[in-house]
């Protein structure tokens, strides 16, 4: 039981770190066609993401791999029941990665516009679909002994779409702060102005999500039973307010760090409320997939724990090194003078 609980915690941590890291480049990609005035601005934005976006997605692979190895039944059911949205999400991520690399290969307007659209779509769809998928998991899927009784369109219910909107706004706000932090001049100023406006929309979406979650899910049951767990939603609220305060004071780094904490604690709130379920059934709780009835053997979990202790610090160390190397702001002059720039 201890190893099953441990891997549920690690599973949530992997998703939280992924959303924190890939969330800002999803957000920057969504803002990309709207916040830039010319091709130079677009190249600057792409080059704030170029050195880090693929490293950020390592955490998605890790989270997916952890799901497969630690909770294989959940993995199988998730990729069966949510096959269509997950396939669209995967294609979007592929197109987005290709767009970053191919945009600058041919210097024609039509070529660049096509890849600009791919960057936007490849950033917007994953942000939305991750929210829709997790919103439906929080709500519970219609499954019983006979299997899954929903469809792709049944996933597009009001609560699922609201969670999708929350994810999009959360990532766009996060991404706007990243651009404020990583660019200079008019581009940084516009990103800061957009951040200030987005914050109010994010606050409204978060409030609506909390209210609807109370009526549409059973996530609040755990918080009523274990009041100490309220530290996660409380930390999300406080960090979101602190992010706005630091943004107002033009402390952009601190505002971005507070936004990182917001993403992590919102994710933690969802997973804490979900426990011990991984995919709850909204037909009959007996058919819910939980930490205990869908996990691998204890021996497998022990081996995975050793592997995680060895390799996760390596990944963390590499990413710290990468962010340190590329810590400077991206300028137009540097992009134009660097032959290896995107």
Judge whether 115 and 99 are in contact, CB under 8 Å. yes
Q: How far apart are CA 20 and CA 40, in angstroms?
A: 27
How confident is the model over 130-153, as pLDDT tens digits? 999 999 999 999 999 888 898 889
Pairing of strands 147-148, 143-144: antiparallel
Q: How confident is the model at residue 79 (pLDDT cuts 50, 70, 90)?
A: confident
What does the block give as tokens for 147?
């299997």
Q: What is the C-alpha to C-alpha distance for residues 105 and 112, in angstroms, rounded to an integer?
A: 9
Residue 274 or 333, more confident: 274
Q: What is the model's pLDDT at position 176?
A: 97
Distance between CA 85 and CA 244 in Å, rounded?
33
Query: Could you tell me which of 276, 281, 263 has the C-alpha nearest to residue 1?
Result: 276
Buried residues in 211-244 as b, exposed as e (16+ CB within 10 A): ebbeebbbbeebbeeeeebeebbebbbebbebbb
| Contact call for residues 342 and 326 (beta carbons, < 8 A) | no
Mean pLDDT confidence for 14-30: 95
- Give the other-Cβ count within 10 Å of 144's Cβ: 13
Q: Cα–Cα distance between 232 and 142 in angstroms, integer?
A: 28
pLDDT at 313 over 80: yes
The string of DSSP letters for 61-92 reads HHHHHHHHHH-HHHHHHHHHHTHHHHHHHHHH
Q: Taking the CB of residue 49, how many other CB atoms lie within 10 A of it?
A: 26
Average pLDDT over residues 232-249: 96
Contact call for residues 96 and 27 (beta carbons, < 8 A) = no
> What value does the mean pLDDT take over residues 36-64?
91
Peptide bond between residue 276 and the one before it cis (omega within 30 degrees of 0): yes
pLDDT, residue 26, reads: 96
> Looking up tokens 């709850």, which residue turns up?
280
CA distance 279 to 81: 11
**Gap between the Cα atoms of 219 and 137, Å rounded:** 11
Q: CA-based Rg of the chain, rounded to a whole angstrom?
A: 20
For the cut 80, the answer to whether the pLDDT of residue 341 exceeds it is no
Average pLDDT, the chain: 93
**Mean pLDDT to the nearest integer, 270-280:** 94
Dmax over CA atoms of the chain, in Å, equals 62
Q: Among positive and negative, which fits the CA dihedral 26, 328, 312, 342? A: positive
pLDDT in the model for residue 1? 77
User: For the chain, where are the E strands, in sequence order?
Assistant: 143-144, 147-148, 277-279, 289-290
Range 171-190 average pLDDT: 95
What is residue 141's three-state secondary structure? strand
> What pTM was estimated for this model as a whole?
0.95
């Amino acid at each position: 039981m201890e190893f099953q609980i441990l891997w549920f915690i690690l599973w949530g941590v992997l998703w939280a770190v992924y959303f924190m890291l890939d969330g800002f480049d999803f957000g920057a990609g969504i803002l990309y066609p709207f916040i830039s005035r010319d091709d130079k601005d677009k190249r600057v934005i792409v080059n704030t993401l170029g050195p880090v976006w693929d490293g950020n997605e390592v955490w998605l692979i890790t989270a997916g791999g952890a799901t497969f190895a630690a909770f294989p039944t959940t993995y199988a059911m998730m990729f069966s029941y949510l096959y269509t949205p997950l396939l669209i999400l995967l294609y979007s991520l592929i197109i987005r990665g290709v767009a970053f690399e191919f945009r600058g290969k041919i210097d024609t307007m039509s070529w660049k516009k096509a890849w600009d659209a791919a960057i936007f779509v490849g950033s917007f769809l994953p942000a939305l679909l991750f929210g829709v998928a997790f919103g439906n998991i929080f709500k519970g899927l219609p499954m019983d002994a006979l299997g899954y009784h929903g469809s792709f369109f049944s996933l597009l219910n009001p609560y699922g779409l609201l969670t999708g909107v929350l994810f999009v706004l959360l990532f766009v706000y996060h991404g706007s702060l990243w651009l404020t932090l990583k660019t200079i001049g008019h581009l940084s100023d516009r990103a800061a102005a957009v951040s200030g406006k987005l914050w109010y929309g994010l606050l409204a979406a978060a409030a609506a999500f909390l209210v609807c979650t109370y009526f549409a899910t059973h996530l609040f049951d755990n918080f009523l039973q274990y009041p100490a767990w309220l530290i996660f939603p409380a930390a999300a609220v406080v960090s979101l307010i602190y992010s706005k305060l630091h943004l107002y004071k033009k402390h952009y780094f601190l505002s971005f760090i507070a936004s990182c904490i917001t993403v992590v604690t919102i994710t933690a709130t969802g997973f804490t409320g979900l426990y011990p379920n991984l995919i709850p059934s909204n037909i009959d709780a007996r058919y819910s997939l939980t930490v205990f009835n869908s996990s691998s053997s204890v021996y497998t979990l022990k081996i995975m724990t050793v592997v995680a202790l060895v390799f996760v610090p390596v990944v963390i160390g590499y990413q710290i090194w990468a962010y340190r190397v590329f810590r400077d702001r991206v300028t137009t002059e540097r992009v134009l003078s660097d032959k290896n720039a995107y």
